[in-house]
Chains A and B, each alone.
Chain A
């Protein structure tokens, strides 16, 4: 039997987003990866306890986005990313860390800078929203 989903939270990460669901059959809370196509979410998630299937439709997902991931203003987005970039470019430059992050005379910290920005920005954004620790 398939039920309309009850989304109780969203958790984006570098692979996309995870939805927190509450099973309509047994009220068990669980989390599942939510695939999207063209930004729209479709999918069915089975409750790990009772097996009841919750169906996520684009409308449910859109409502969850509004509820759990409020839209940032462009200026805020620029500010968060800029600050994340600063942290990404600076933390590994402490002398103690530079000597640790080294292999074949190559410093390993600088090469990671760009790929780590998004994660720091997401963390700063969560902090700015006043969310509790992950």
Chain B
């Protein structure tokens, strides 16, 4: 079994090399950090996004309802309330409501992640994979810790990627947030990090030294630049010195907002005082923590107004060259002659790696931060001393160099190896913990291309609108699902605004897909129709982008559609947790619905191939010719019911609709935005169109015999096919010439899949084009085959009877259905007649 590793909440460019290394070792990687996953994909590294199964929402709601209902009475008991009491005071009157709200929210996230884990392990089994390790960021969030507990139930080891635990100085440190090793193992930055964790009682055997992959790129030569170059890039005066002030903020887990905010303001004042120092002339860059403004979504307008006010305030106090800079961190660091760091954060290490002298203003001077000063970083407890320190440092190049020298000595203790190779060490550790036998695991290569040597039997049409994560997975897994059927893939992009365009361009350039691009979102139906127009294969398969096909799916679908009377085939669609999402559609209380939803994947009712009225368009295969004759999906519908409508038109045209259980496809269902925006409108159109064709049993009512019938025809000469005649009116002229003089001749034109109203509109021009009325006298009997088997059998028998004049061996063969085989035989008989 191929090993699989889940990376949860692990994001950042630095982890792309880790993922690449794992893939090269034959490990399947699943990630929930979409930006990082996409970046890896863009670099050709196969990564699978982690999905929260749609069924998780229902489970969360059900469980939260149960928990809230059961907790309520308990919380009225004095002995239970005593658990919340404290000698320091009663916090419940102040935060009781918020406390229980947050608890419920956190518990909901825990249940969701536990459901996701179940889904992922099931998905891995079906893929022939084994989930061997879960790697988590070290945020100590409830859902991360719950995942670890859930993983233990499955016997799956866990690894926590620690980051900067030695730096944190705040209430989170006191509360032990960053210091609690909750996973089985920890990948620690370096020795000082491990020392802190060990001193707090964690087992050193569980702590592995790797360094931080996020810093690897800083060691590359091309990441380095001179101060002058960095200043030029930032639009600063390259000849003037620069001080960079990087601030922290009162984050969500800080209980002492006032203290932290006040401290930050004092640091800021000290930096401004330094800028006003009479002996100093430097350009000040202030870099607020990027997460500070993002705590609450403010909207672009408010955000830019706040930043503009702050920038104007800063320029007014710090003089020319002062600027507020939220991004371009590495250029800002390298532009600086001195970096002032408001609390020791990971940015401090980055400044040290980039060899810029740094001074730390601790957020909590009382806290134990002295380890930083041990032979290394300059720490200033009293911010009032900052102006004189800055003055003495900026004026003394030798002191600045000495400071950098001391920082360099300290770096190996803060970032293991100090060599830019942490990603390799992290990947080695993950592979080791996942017990990967490199020799036995097949490499996870790039997705296979469709075979260009074989003409496609099926055109897979995938309409997309955003949700690039789904499209990524779909395009990646599609070629991995084994099939002997040659196929092509056409993706129709409905003007996506996320990273879809780039992803599709990547696959298109690699020759894996063809892309139809729309300037605006035309909706599901129009996109599918566009895809069908671009298709080259005799069969069309419409596939949602939130699907993952499994081995043999395409073969099973094609096999099911092979008899000529099958007009549409649907697949067995599963939720990621393995329960049924679709096994055919029925009318439930007058509305098309999925009767077996949430049933077990192998329930007896869903294991048999069945004839139905409708199947879902999430995965729908049908003959391209039939799709064209039916006019494609009806664009009157908007993102709903188009598939049901199409299936009923297939049924009305006399074809069967099948559910094929051997074709198994995972489906995340209804993930596109706007998917449910038009439900009422769609149903109104649907009921108006089909309401009188749905019987009390909820089944489609078969069409009545067509108005045009065989009564009154003098005799039968030959069977013609309407689609051939429309395509080539000259054929009708030939028929007419052959039979026009015979009094008993009647040309039967079989129009399978048409209704009566279409005959005149479509055959009329062909008849005129053939000049038949003027040149020939054969009776024309056009029969629209609208699905009534009795009419087809009668027709077949009468035509057959005519040709029985031709000597033939054996008894008259009954024709139970006017299927492809019957038609083929009739064509052969007609050819012999021509030959005679």
Contacts and interface: CB of A to CB of B under 8 A. Distances in A.
Contacts of A121: 171, 175, 255-256
Interface string B46-79: 0000000000000000010001001100100101
B253 to A, nearest CB: 5
B171 A118 contact: yes
B269 to A, nearest CB: 10
Contacts of B734: none
A134 B93 CA distance: 7
A36 B102 CA distance: 24
Contact of B103 (A13, A112, A124): A112
A79 interface: yes
B155 to A, nearest CB: 13
Given A122-B94, A128-B89, A62 B265 contact: yes
B295 A15 contact: yes
Interface string B226-270: 000000000000000000000101101111111111111101100
Nearest to A122: B255
A39 B74 contact: no
B288 A38 contact: yes
Interface in A93-124: 93-94, 96-97, 100-101, 103-108, 110-112, 114-124
Contacts of A101: 67, 107
A1 interface: no
B809 interface: no
B175 A81 contact: yes
B142 interface: yes
A41 to B, nearest CB: 8
B74 A97 contact: yes
A37 B261 CA distance: 10
For chain B, which range describes its interface: under 10, 10 to 19, 20 to 34, or 35 or more residues? 35 or more
B142 A112 contact: yes
B678 interface: no
Contact of A108 (B86, B92, B110, B175): B110
A43 B367 CA distance: 33
Contacts of A106: 110, 114, 146, 149-150, 153
A105 B80 CA distance: 22
B160 to A, nearest CB: 13
B89 A118 contact: no
A134 B97 contact: yes
B255 A110 contact: no
Given A70-B258, A115-B142, A119-B102, A37 B307 contact: yes
A96 B74 contact: yes
B676 interface: no
A35 interface: yes
B288 A15 contact: no
Given A103-B110, A128-B88, A134-B93, A110 B265 contact: no
B229 to A, nearest CB: 26
B91 A38 contact: no
Contacts of B305: 43-44
Nearest to A62: B265
Most B CB atoms within 10 A — which of A36, A66, A83, A87?
A: A36
Interface string B269-300: 00000000000000000101100110110100
Contacts of A118: 171-172, 175, 252-255
A43 B306 contact: yes
Contacts of A80: 88, 255
Determine the main DSSP class of B at the interface with A.
helix
B324 A37 contact: yes
Interface residues of A, number: 74
Contact of B140 (A33, A66, A115, A133): A115
A118 to B, nearest CB: 4
A87 to B, nearest CB: 6
Contact of B95 (A43, A71, A119): A119
Contacts of B110: 103, 106, 108, 111-112
B310 interface: yes
B74 A91 contact: no
Given A37-B306, A108-B111, A74 B95 contact: no
A126 B95 CA distance: 9
Given A10-B258, A16-B295, A103 B63 contact: yes
A109 B655 CA distance: 57
A102 to B, nearest CB: 9
Nearest to A70: B258
A70 B256 CA distance: 10
A42 B312 CA distance: 11
Contacts of A94: 79-80, 83
B424 to A, nearest CB: 31
B146 A108 contact: yes
Contacts of B607: none
B74 A120 contact: no
Interface string B768-794: 000000000000000000000000000
Given A12-B258, A81-B255, A37 B288 contact: yes
Nearest to A33: B296
Interface in A72-86: 72, 74, 77-86
Given A104-B118, A111-B110, A124 B86 contact: yes
A72 to B, nearest CB: 6
Most B CB atoms within 10 A — which of A14, A62, A128?
A: A14
Contacts of A10: 258
Given A115-B253, A134-B97, A104 B310 contact: no
The 8 closest A-B pairs by CB, nearest first: A69-B258, A39-B264, A123-B91, A127-B89, A123-B95, A12-B257, A121-B255, A111-B145
Given A12-B250, A90-B83, A118-B255, 5 more contacts: A78-B174, A96-B74, A115-B253, A118-B252, A128-B89
23 contacts: A14-B253, A16-B296, A35-B303, A38-B288, A39-B250, A40-B265, A40-B313, A44-B305, A71-B259, A74-B367, A81-B255, A83-B87, A84-B255, A85-B176, A87-B83, A97-B71, A100-B70, A100-B74, A108-B107, A115-B141, A117-B177, A120-B99, A134-B94
Interface of B: 63, 67, 70-71, 74, 77, 79-80, 83-84, 86-99, 102-103, 106-107, 110-111, 114, 118, 140-146, 149-150, 153, 171-172, 174-177, 180, 247, 249-250, 252-265, 267-268, 286, 288-289, 292-293, 295-296, 298, 302-303, 305-307, 309-310, 313, 324, 364, 366-367
Interface of A: 10, 12-17, 33, 35-40, 42-44, 58, 61-62, 65-66, 68-72, 74, 77-87, 90-91, 93-94, 96-97, 100-101, 103-108, 110-112, 114-128, 131, 133-134
